[in-house]
Amino acid sequence: MNKRITLISFIEKNEMSKVEQLMSNINKNTCKVPYGINDEKRYEIDNLPYHFTIFATNKENQEEFLKIAESINIDKIQLKVNDIKIMKARYDSYCLYLSIEENQQIKELQRIFYNKFPREKYNPDDFIFHMTLDIDKDYNKILNLQKILKENFKPFFLEFNTVALFDYPGEMIKKIGDR
């Protein structure tokens, strides 16, 4: 498998507390790493913070990718988290995620990278922006987690004006836009 880099929203701690509070109702281990990367060690390598993926590309594009990311002045992007949904994921798995209302700012940010490194999966016109909460092959587990989380769910806002580039899965390469 090609090594990937992924650009994610970097949501500050005070904002992230909203997601952590929601997840505090779950007393089971969750994992954001999709199947097909290192299935035996998914939980151990799950080190990315909760985030919205902006774009991912091959590691060989890192230098050019960083140059573009560092040239962008990211205005504060406010996202309205409006639901907790389930989607089918790779390798017969299911992804439990937070969905957002359509947002032009995050689409425009994604389009900058899509125009330079076109990958249909990250076409902002079709991409479903989401914050993964858990990925599992057990649909009943995902469905039960969704039910628990929806019991007291109320839509809320998350803001960010910083992004981070990560080896995926792996360590942070660079935080960008932190002023």
154, pLDDT greater than 70: yes
Note the pLDDT of residue 2.
57
162, pLDDT greater than 60: yes
Note the pLDDT of residue 160.
96
94, pLDDT greater than 50: yes
Mean pLDDT on 142-170 = 94
Confidence band for 1, pLDDT divided at 50, 70 and 90:
very low
Mean pLDDT on 134-148 = 97
Query: How far is residue 158 from each of residues 31, 35, 81, 113, 171, measured CA to CA in Å?
Result: 21, 27, 7, 22, 23
In words, the CATH class of domain 4-176 is alpha beta
> Torsion over CA of 13, 63, 89 and 152, rounded to 10 degrees?
10
pLDDT digits (tens, 9 = 90+) for 15-58: 999 999 999 989 889 999 999 988 999 999 998 899 999 999 99
Radius of gyration of the chain (CA): 16
Percent of the chain with pLDDT over 90: 87
Note the pLDDT of residue 178.
63
Q: Where are the domains of the chain?
A: 4-176
